[in-house]
Amino acid sequence: MNLGKVSKLAMELINGDRADAHGDFRVSFQNIANLWTSFLGTPVRADQVAIMMLLLKVARNRLNPKAVDNFVDMIGYAELAAALAQIIFSEKQDKTEETVTGVTDAGPVEEGTEK
C-alpha cells in the first residue's frame, strides 16, 4: 500500500459516503456531545466526541491490527476532531472579540449551512 492511500480513502469517505449517510458532521457530533453530556453529567465537546471515537478505533485495532478499516476510521476521526476544534475554538475567540468590541459575525451552525 502506498503512503497516503489510507488517508485519501478516509477523506473520500468523510466527504462522500459518510457525509451522505450521517449528514453535516458538525451537527452530528454536536448531537452526540449533547447526549454524552447528559448521560455522563459532565460537559463533552463535539471535538472530544471525535477523539473518543478515534480511541474506540485504537481499542478495536488492538484486537485486529490487520484491519485497514480501523486505520481509515482513525484518520477520518482525527480529521474531524481537528476541524471541530478549529470551529469551536474559533467561535470562542469570536465571542471574546464580541465581548470586547460588541461585534460578531459568528452565528449558530445549522445542518446544510457552511461558515
Lookup: cell for 113: 449551512
Return the pLDDT at 55. Answer: 98
Torsion angle (degrees, nearest 10) of CA 86, 92, 98, 104: 40
pTM of the model: 0.75
Q: Could you tell me what percentage of the chain is helix, strand and coil, using 3-state DSSP and rounding each to the nearest 5?
A: 75, 0, 25
Furthest-apart CA atoms within the chain: distance in Å: 54
* Interval 53-67: pLDDT, tens: 999 999 999 999 999
What does the pLDDT average to over 86-110?
61
Q: How many residues does the chain have?
A: 115
Residue with cell 478549529: 86
Dump pLDDT digits (tens) for 5-35: 999 999 999 989 888 898 899 999 999 999 9
Bigger pLDDT: 111 vs 76? 76
Q: Give percent above pLDDT 90 in the chain.
A: 67
